[in-house]
Chain A
Amino acid sequence: MTTSNPLVEVNKLSRRFDVSKPWLNRVIERTDKAYVRAVDDVTFRINKGETLALVGESGSGKSTIARLIVGLLDPSEGDIHFDGKSLKKGLKGGEARRLRRRFQMIFQDPFASLNPRWRVTDIIGEPLKVFEGGLSSLERRKRVGELLTLVGLSPEDGVKFPHEFSGGQRQRVAIARALAARPDFIVCDEPTSALDVSVQAQILNLMKDLQDEFGLTFLFISHDLSVVRHMANRIGVLYLGRLAEVADSKTLFAKPRHPYTRMLLDAVPDLEMTGRKRKKVEGEIPNPINPPPGCAFHPRCPFANERCRMEIPQLLWNGEGETACHGVEEGRI
């Protein structure tokens, strides 16, 4: 059930990447160091039991946020709280282990995220070894069998290697591995974008069932708005590393406020669209190394004015959700 206490709180999170040329080139060509702000001042919270989705096109920083939250990258600025505890000051020892086991990640490509030289039993058993060292190998094997059954595979599949499975089955193994540590929170980075639609439907249904069964909280990263609509309670729309809009799934699709969200929704090809005339979509995402000043979306925005070109809009409450748009704030849009 959805309650209002946040499990994950992300506060003014930023991450820069150094994309400078080598030192000698910089000296010769007299250029400065260059940075990409992949994630820029992002704030959101995820309540227990809900699914928050982050959508965005390539380069919007959605995968970087996923990596920051699970600790695969360190933030440049800002902080992440998990169940009230800050993850900023590098956690140590037992505390880190207790906290880390509570969040797990499912990656996009099940062909790359499973060790090809390990049997499935060992892949799923590894988190058990790390987090539940007390188990005997027999108990561990039994538990792996249960996990495999849970994700719709059979316990006998444990002796196989990843290459013996299809893409969808491999993603099931990855889900079983994530569940092995009995987590509360799972970060899913494009979990179905490498899969065919009929298999995608199986995996999405499985994830929903598991969420209901174990009361899991999901951060769901995707570029596909239709999938997001199906999975998420709340949705955050990212554009060039900043949140453009955060709203309830229903509100976002019924009444998108930010011009970028509207454009995205117009752009999605849909089965219902046959023969319908669509609105024209203009422009492409600018280069993140040198983003436009002010609101990053202003060069593509039909409502942009002088203020949009100068001042970066903050994420503000608009009555039904949050938008980072001067036009919405001023009531122009």
Chain B
Amino acid sequence: MADNETDIEGQPRIAPDAGAADDARPWGEQTRVVGNRRPRVDAWERVSGAAVFPSDLVLPGMLHAAVLGSPHANARVTAIDTSRAERMPGVYAVISRNTPEANPDWDYFSAHSGKLFYDHCRFEGDAVAAVAAQSPYQAHDALRAIQVEYEILPFVSDELEALKPGAPEVHSGGNRAGTQTYARGNIEQGFSEADLVLEQRYRTASEMHTPLEPHGCVARWDGDSLTVWESTQGVYAVQSKIADVLKLPLSRVRVIGHYVGGAFGSKLRTDKYAIIAALLARRVNRPVKLFMTREQTLLTQGNRPPATMTVKAGVKKDGTLTAIQFSGIGASGAYKAGGTSLLDWLAKDLYRCANVSTELTDVYINAQPARPFRAPGYVQCSWAMEQMMDALADGLGMDPVELRLRNIPAGTQARDDKPYTTDGLRLCIEQGARAFGWQEARAAAAQHSKGHLQRGVGMAAANWYAGDGGPPSTVIVRLYADGTANLNMGASDIGTGTKTVMAMVVAEEFGVDPDAVQIEHADTGTTQYATPSGGSKTVPTEAPAVRRACLAVKSQLLDMAAQQLGRPREEIVFDGDHLRTTDGLESLAIRELDRLRKQKVVVGVGQRQSNPQGVSITPFAAQFCEVEVNTLTGEVRLLRMLGSNESGRVINRLTWDGQLIGGITMGVGYATTERRVLDGPTGKLCNKNWHDYKLPTTLDVPAEVISEPIMLTDEQANIVGAKGLGEPVTIPTAGAIANAVAHALGMRLYDTPINPVTLIERVAAREA
């Protein structure tokens, strides 16, 4: 509740915000702009080709850089000779460990310190040297002329092998990167109360982000000031990392990221490339563009770690869950990077269960460090838990929807049972099942099956722990004399439609069209502080701050109107782009305010207030899926999918539906096409391109995707009533597909991906 909101600790309240919005409530049902289907305010730029992505940038005198990576899974660099490369046409600079002045300290997630170009390359692709040249062709020519001598070391690329005694050690001291346990209730008692106990092991392959725009940046120095145009989810996060590594004051590092060609968690932080680009640019005193090759993005720029999960669960005949025991093994990669982050969260939080114990083991392997990937941990855990729920339902002879509905918790069990602000999980499952025609489709699947074409229907549900958003965030709104507005915020729009949502908030408040809102964003030099766009927290973090800034402007407009009309402030209200007296006798447009016309601009500052204590603001989801499995070819045809989401207020229905469509597509890839393959004999990545690493294409997605939002306003969440959506839309997809395939086949596949090869193997094994 707004009343419970308190100022952010240590953040002074800025004058224009004072008294503006303390009693503000989310909008009522009647809104003019919010809730509409609204094309993006920057759609013209994106479809015309005019949008300048960081990789599109061409600056005068700009050189092109390229990075040489170690070709081995684990190797020590014993010598580097760059002399031939330095003499090649068009080459301006070569840096490596031989250039100590251009080899600062670098650490991957702080657990292990090293250098930018480190002697010990613990994963394939780690940087060994870099070149700046006139053209990218010349830069890559020069890379091939660099002579590196490696001492090839033993490696381990499988996390289960890595835990065995005698396995090669990624770091001395063993391959356990961390362990974590959790327990509530009494697990043994829980199992003893159960009428049915099942135990199963599940394995999910590593998934790689591969956004269409490769990772990279353009760096330029003006004296001792550095400007970096980076493809990123968070300009301020990039700024602090660069300043830290290069020992620069924050005020000497400006990071701009107006557009970003996809990210999915892999561009929350920056990487060595930004440091390399800056060092090369300083060395040659010219701007330098450095974008990773596609192969390098697959080798070094992020992955969802693989997971091996064992779930043991007990249930009573009436469907009450009595015990869940979850153990998960994940792989950080060569450096500690959250290989089991949030991996057990759904097991301990999604369904009501008094007795839960979990154990997580994070493992070092000789592969690139993991990165957060759209709902880290949750997507893996959902694959296991949602299949277990269906297996329990099968065992009890209960409908899978019914089993889930009998285990809806009232609050977040992993966080002291804090009550949820909505009954979103139940709403998503019930409303989604109804809209999908669950019972009819489930019953009709058998009669639609003919010979080798078997029909199946499945579902899965989810929540997401971070969809509440929160401070810090500061936004400035300026209202111009003609009633149009400028919005200044630091957040990136990573393709989710952030700019459009925020423009709609401003438009709602000032009674203008969203196109009348000019947006400055994602520039540490000119826009306000924002955390990276990730965690499904951008709308619930930024939109309330945007609205508060608008309310701060409106408070000043009320004073102006009161003065002009000679009425007390309390007798004046806003009506679209007008102010009118409550008696209806007088009205004037905002742009007719004398003070505004004289002053030219009114400034409002909004800050994101803290979330209310004592409640859990959580988004929920459920997905339903119908498939046809060809038992001769192993193909799975996705006939239709429905996604039901409760993320509070729907601000832009068009981009809301787009999030769902995209989340489902990504989940289809996780369930059916994507898998990182590290070669057994060499530890090298086998599928380091999009030919071999299969993303879903137009031919792999369901012909029909239905979006079924739960239309409600989460009154307690914040002053716009919205929660995050970007992750909840992808968490249940893979599990729903697996359950539908199991329904079709009458047997389960426990490992991702379910592709024609893995499926037909199981079918053949059953028939044999």
Same complex: no
Interface residues of A (CB under 8 A from B): none
